[in-house]
Amino acid sequence: MIDATILSVFLILPLVGAILAWILPERPNAQKTISVSVSIGLLAASILLLIQSVLAQKAGFLLRERIPLLSDWGIAWHVGVDGLSIAMLFLSALVQFAASVVAAPKERVRAYHSLVQLLFVGVNGTFLALDMVFFYTFWEIMLIPMFFLIAIWGGDDRKRAAVKFFLYTMAGSMGMLLVILVLHYKIPAEGVTVGVRTAEVQEQMTVERDGTAQIYDLAILSPDAGGKLAPVQASEIVKGSKSSLSVKILPNFDLLHWKLLAPYWANLRVWGFALAPLALGLLFIAFAVKVPVFPLHLWLPHAHVQAPTAISVVLAGILLKLGVYGLIRVAWPIFPVAALDGATMFAWIGVISIVWGAMAALGQSDFKRLVAYSSISHMGFCVLGLASATSQGISGAAYQCVSHGLSASLLFLLVGCLYDRAHHRRVDGFGGLAQIMPTFSAFFLFAAMVGVGLPGLAGFVGELSSLLGAWSNAATRVAGWVAASGVVLSAAYLLWTVKRVLYGPLRHSEQRAFSDLTITEWAALSPLAVLSILFGVWPGILQSALGPVSASLASHMAWVAGLVRGS
């Protein structure tokens, strides 16, 4: 039986890897071996968790650990994993493996590998954190290594790209910090008593030694015979004899407690304005910068073009997914009513990103810039699915995170393979490569099919589920129909690119000397390709982990909305 100590592996292992990479003598193979070994260890741990999550098929947290640190301020070391965070940790480890295997810079090797490991400390910590102080801390930890990875090892315009990335992300983070502080200080010192959803209690309930029930380390209360709130026995909840359940929450930074306070936040006013719409707007901007959505996307194409191949893989494969994760884990659960009220607006933001990103990709001549704009388009489906606030839409958004992580990583790795040989990324600078690089061409065609959303591959499941979720909600239905055009547009720019690069006569004779994929490139590409097929033909593997979490969030949003609106 796996216990909560395994969660520390996702933080300690990359931290130890960063220290070892820095203190050992600078030898490229030694540092690379450390990075690959760390990623394999994380991949093994995440697979263990994923197997347990698939077998459990539960909406509640599979593992959770809470250690009070600064009790007077309500700060605790609170980490945990459910199906969503486990899927993201698995994707993180897989992307880290692919990025570690490919070629790394030959200069400042110790610093490079140390920064990459520190970056994944921040990534994994964000997926684990259930206390907003630590969530914000890990969120910001990611910013510093990525800034230097682009600024030091990037292309000719690397410093400008790094600064743009830093400014966009930091601006969004300031809004998140403001929301965190306001929410904490808006909880009265005497605490707030709020009702809890019976289904959530059944999903998340733990039993104390005396038989009383708790949820997220809070005693579950119910009126006794005299009408006074008293702790409830777990057996009574199981029998269904207690229907009016509540908890008392004192000032703290606990994300799960803030989720239970959703009805309280919905009715709160700050400086004469309703708190929920303002706070949700600031959180949405903070997370949407990472997704990114139009018009907060301007940093992404520049960063991708300037970043080295491995860092582009990390950026597209996992960092963009943190924005969607933040919306699912933080923004939507805490402010469900405001999210439902803004469903149409959020859906159209997703649609604009889908269509505009695809149209922009059609006009690109730089390979990396093309894939970067395609990422904006594909991630727009995540926002559309979330806007629907349906179980299918939310599940589709989470699934799309994984499928796009696979396809985008494949494409950026393949672009890097071409750049290593040709030393340029101009789409019109290639042609007929299938004649001399058949294995590369097969992988490239396959990656394009995953990106297009071909049935039987992972990209199909996430996009279809997001669209079905949008179509099932009247507020997002029209946006969903328009978003379907993005599927056609993605086929247009990807297949057109395949035609120009792989087929026809060999347009540049010097490319006849290009070698096909190396063993190292095979090692990086193969796991991504295999999983793209597996998650396409057998989506139930991943849906077993993501589905219950998505259904629980959709039910939570509907329940809070009904409570607040009096329906």
Q: What is the mean pLDDT of residues 191-197?
A: 88
Q: Enter the DSSP assignment of 212.
A: B
Secondary structure of 95-115 as H, E, C letters? HHHHHHHCCCCCCCHHHHHHH
**Tens-place pLDDT, residues 3-28:** 778 899 999 999 999 999 899 888 87
Tokens coding 537: 């033909």
Q: What is the mean pLDDT of residues 500-529?
A: 88
**Tens-place pLDDT, residues 208-263:** 888 888 888 888 888 877 778 888 888 887 777 677 888 899 999 999 999 999 99
C-alpha count within 13 angstroms, C-beta hemisphere, residue 36: 14
Q: What is the CA radius of gyration of the chain?
A: 24
210, exposed or middle or buried, with CB in 10 Å at 0-12, 13-18, 19+?
A: exposed
Task: Please confirm whether the linkage preceding 295 is cis (ω < 30° from 0).
Answer: yes
User: Lowest-confidence range among 156-170, 228-242, 485-499?
Assistant: 228-242
Please give the order of strands across the beta sheet that includes 218-219.
205-207, 213-215, 218-219
pTM: 0.93
Q: Is the pLDDT of residue 567 over 90?
A: no
Provide the pLDDT confidence category of residue 396 given band limits of 50, 70 and 90: very high
Q: What is the mean pLDDT of residues 50-56?
A: 84
Q: What is the mean pLDDT of residues 376-390?
A: 94
DSSP string for residues in 23-48: HS---HHHHHHHHHHHHHHHHHHHHH
**Tens-place pLDDT, residues 267-303:** 888 888 889 999 999 999 999 999 889 888 888 888 8
Q: Is the pLDDT of residue 58 over 80?
A: no
Please give the order of strands across the beta sheet that includes 229-231.
192-195, 246-249, 221-223, 229-231
Pairing assessment for the beta strands 218-219 and 213-215 based on DSSP bridges: antiparallel
Mean pLDDT of the chain: 90
Distance (Å, rounded) from C-alpha 497 to C-alpha 369? 13
Three-state DSSP class for residue 194 = strand
Terminal-residue alpha carbon distance, the chain: 43
500 vs 225, residue with greater confidence: 500
Provide the pLDDT confidence category of residue 191 given band limits of 50, 70 and 90: confident
Distance (Å, rounded) from C-alpha 201 to C-alpha 246? 10
- The answer for residues whose C-beta is within 8 angstroms of residue 544's C-beta and 6 or more apart is 53, 54, 57, 83
Q: Is the pLDDT of residue 353 over 90?
A: yes
Q: What is the mean pLDDT of residues 115-124?
A: 94
Specify the residue for token string 């003598």: 25
User: Lowest-confidence range among 149-153, 179-183, 200-204?
Assistant: 200-204
Contact between 256 and 247 under an 8 Å Cβ cutoff? The reply is no
**Tens-place pLDDT, residues 425-461:** 888 888 888 889 999 999 999 999 999 888 999 989 9
**Percent of the chain with pLDDT strictly greater than 90:** 54
| Cα torsion 109, 115, 118, 124: sign | negative
Q: Is the pLDDT of residue 202 over 90?
A: no
Secondary structure of 314-374 as H, E, C letters? HHHHHHHHHHHHHHHHHHHHHCHHHHHHCHHHHHHHHHHHHHHHHHHHHCCCEHHHHHHHH
Specify the residue for token string 């690379």: 32
Farthest-apart Cα atoms in the chain, separation: 90
User: Lowest-confidence range among 73-77, 199-203, 309-313?
Assistant: 199-203
Provide the pLDDT confidence category of residue 1 given band limits of 50, 70 and 90: low
Domains of the chain, residue spans:
4-184+274-565, 192-249
Distance (Å, rounded) from C-alpha 486 to C-alpha 479? 11
C-alpha count within 13 angstroms, C-beta hemisphere, residue 32: 15
Distance (Å, rounded) from C-alpha 383 to C-alpha 396? 10
Q: Is the pLDDT of residue 395 over 80?
A: yes
Q: What is the mean pLDDT of residues 130-146?
A: 93
Residue 260, pLDDT score:
93
